[in-house]
Amino acid sequence: MTEFSLPIPFITQMEGILGNQYTAFENALMLPSKRSIRVHPHKFPKALSLQQVPWNKQGYWLDEAATVTYDPLFHAGAYYVQEASSMFIAQLLEACIQDKEELIVLDLCAAPGGKSTLICDVLNEKHLLVSNEVIKTRVHILDENLLKWGYNNVIVTHNDPADFERLGTFFDIIVVDAPCSGEGMFRKDHDAVNEWDQAHVDMCCCRQKRILSDVWKSLKPGGILIYSTCTFNKKEDEENMRWMQVEHQAEGIELTIPAFEGIETCIDNGITSFRFYPHRVSGEGFFASAIRKPENAEWNDHSGKREKWNKDRKVQQKQIIPELAKTILTKVDSYVFLHKEEYRSFSEIFKPALEQISMCLKIFRAGTPLGILKGKDFLPDSAVAMSIHLNKELFPSIELSYEEAIKYLSKEEFVLEQESKGWNLMCYQGIPLGWIKAMPNRFNNYFPPEWRIRNKWNGESIRFMISE
């Protein structure tokens, strides 16, 4: 048990919220956090012999400490390390989607990618995800995690919430996992305890209102906004939802969600919210709710504001597409386009949406990078190796041992006993890691240098998350 001092105003706040449950709550904060993962439903579909997170069928709690750095399956995008409580967003999203087709969903505050990869698993191929990160330094890790997760119907953007007004009323669903005071992370992050005070809470609340107000303008009439924080105080949670009711005429939603033991369901002014407390669930503090924009709300068309954003952001088309670029993915509803020197694949049905977004926003990446043409040779991208739509039959595959996989991922030299001339798909436990190109006397490792394992493995036995 770890002991640390909680701020007196925080204690007073939580005693007011929890009453006679406060002591149990404080004791729970002193216990170690339980680590959890969410496995990829396509890359790792089999069940694990671990305790399952009740509100997410791909979520599992780990029974002991484990590593990700030296687990090849983590680098292959076979699972994501994610706090269990936040996986509940999938329940809200599924309840909001129901049988709707051709949805456009925005994950506004997306880095490092936990909720975006979660959203990808819930959406189908007729749904588009726009995954946005405001902070420039965090966009790269967001993009890396989404590329490894391997879905084609994703656009990664880098914009302020206010920028989305340029699109007009565009999104069917918006997910806002808002930056907050982080009270729910106190036992995982003791620095958050030291940073906490009422002024910080007030500042977070003001920022959250600005974010909600800015992005609300890009939500379609009848569209749904899912709001979440990892904090306990009502000022950043229920009161923000109430403020949206008054300020923007937001409506509550009747959500059909199974009852899960320990999750507190609250209804305030017709708005249903869900609260997670560490003394009641095996997870950290979390708040989630959903509100609807009135059906009779005004539709806004900001097409007149797009022209100045049109330069260098239009998707460039090229008539001659390399044959391998056309066939490397099995998706038949995708089209291939050229972005600078890189060929990419994107869902055909969302081509108009991509063109509209490209005129209004800063796009970091759209669709799946396929590769580049170097002379007459097509060089496949590492991202396409990890795509769930990769046409594996086009390439010989090499099953790597654990030691070989680590050396490949570290870009260290090693010897392969057998490889076919040309492009070979490197796999571990049947899951693709990336490419090599075999020459007569050697091979070139095409795993991206920026993704490599930087710390050298010392050969010690390691317990992994899900590797056999």
Give domain status of residue 106, yes or no.
Answer: yes
CATH code, domain with 149: 3.40.50.150
Average pLDDT over residues 120-130: 96
Q: pLDDT confidence of 94, banded at 50, 70, 90? A: very high
Average pLDDT over residues 400-417: 93
Exposure string of 114-127, with b = 16+ CB inside 10 Å and e = fewer, is bbbbbbbbbbeeeb
Confidence at residue 308, expressed as pLDDT on a 0 to 100 scale: 44
Q: How many CB atoms lie within 10 A of CB 66?
A: 17
Q: Which of 180, 230, 360, 427 is catalytic?
A: 230
pLDDT value at 457 more than 80: no
Residues 263 and 373 in one domain: no
Phi–psi pair at 434, nearest 5 degrees: 160, -160
Give domain status of residue 77, yes or no.
Answer: no
Q: Give the count of alpha carbons within 13 A of 86, CB side only.
A: 27
pLDDT value at 18 more than 80: yes
What pLDDT, in 10s, does the model give residues 203-235? 999 999 999 999 999 999 999 999 999 999 999
Residues 244 and 351 in one domain: no
Burial environment of residue 358 by CB neighbours within 10 A (0 to 12, 13 to 18, 19 or more):
buried
d(CA 239, CA 120): 30
CATH code, domain with 413: 2.30.130
Residues 282 and 316 in one domain: no
d(CA 207, CA 232): 17
Confidence at residue 418, expressed as pLDDT on a 0 to 100 scale: 80
Confidence at residue 313, expressed as pLDDT on a 0 to 100 scale: 46
> Which uninterrupted H or E stretch holds 344?
strand 342-347
Give domain status of residue 165, yes or no.
Answer: yes
Coil, strand or helix at 274:
strand
Confidence at residue 309, expressed as pLDDT on a 0 to 100 scale: 40
Residues 179 and 133 in one domain: yes
Q: Is-contact 110 131, C-beta < 8 A?
A: yes
The domain boundary, picked from 359, 385, 411, lies at 385
Residues 161 and 242 in one domain: yes
The structural domain count of the chain equals 3
d(CA 293, CA 453): 45
Q: Where are the alpha helices (DSSP H) in 289-370?
A: 323-327, 351-360
d(CA 318, CA 248): 44
What pLDDT, in 10s, does the model give residues 372-382? 999 889 999 99
Confidence (pTM): 0.94
Confidence at residue 171, expressed as pLDDT on a 0 to 100 scale: 98
What pLDDT, in 10s, does the model give residues 48-63? 889 999 999 999 998 7
What pLDDT, in 10s, does the model give residues 238-283? 999 999 999 999 999 988 899 999 999 999 899 999 999 999 999 9
- Higher per-residue pLDDT: 311 or 92: 92
pLDDT value at 332 more than 80: no
- Most confident residue range from 40-44, 45-49, 337-341: 40-44
Confidence at residue 160, expressed as pLDDT on a 0 to 100 scale: 97
Give domain status of residue 183, yes or no.
Answer: yes
The domain boundary, picked from 270, 292, 314, lies at 292
Could you tell me the residue range of the domain that residue 404 belongs to? 395-451
Residues 119 and 216 in one domain: yes
Residues 213 and 184 in one domain: yes
Average pLDDT, the chain: 91
Residues 336 and 258 in one domain: no
Residues 216 and 327 in one domain: no
Q: Given phi > 0 = left and psi -120 to 50 = alpha, else beta, which region is 141?
A: alpha
Q: Where are the beta strands (DSSP E) in 148-209?
A: 154-157, 171-177
> Which uninterrupted H or E stretch holds 128?
strand 128-132
pLDDT value at 437 more than 80: yes
206 included as an active-site residue = no
Token pair in block for residue 86: 């936040």
Confidence at residue 311, expressed as pLDDT on a 0 to 100 scale: 44
Give domain status of residue 46, yes or no.
Answer: no
Instruction: Kindly list the distances between the CA atom of residue 357 and the CA atoms of 5, 353, 363, 365, 409, in Å, as whole numbers in the listed order.
Output: 48, 6, 8, 12, 35
Give domain status of residue 298, yes or no.
Answer: no
CA 379-130-327 angle, 5° bins: 30
Q: pLDDT confidence of 65, banded at 50, 70, 90? A: low
The domain boundary, picked from 385, 419, 439, lies at 385
Between 74-78, 115-119, 304-308, 344-348, the lowest mean confidence (pLDDT) is in 304-308
Instruction: Kindly list the distances between the CA atom of residue 125 and the CA atoms of 21, 103, 142, 147, in Å, as whole numbers in the listed order.
Output: 45, 10, 21, 16
- Higher per-residue pLDDT: 400 or 188: 400
**At 127, which amino acid appears?**
H
Give domain status of residue 57, yes or no.
Answer: no
Confidence at residue 255, expressed as pLDDT on a 0 to 100 scale: 85
CA 362, distance to chain mean position in Å, is 19
Give domain status of residue 164, yes or no.
Answer: yes
Residues 138 and 221 in one domain: yes
Residues 436 and 324 in one domain: no
Confidence at residue 314, expressed as pLDDT on a 0 to 100 scale: 47
What pLDDT, in 10s, does the model give residues 345-369? 999 999 999 999 999 999 999 999 9
Paired sense of beta strands 104-107 and 128-132, if any:
parallel
Q: Is-contact 358 314, C-beta < 8 A?
A: yes
Residues 447 and 318 in one domain: no
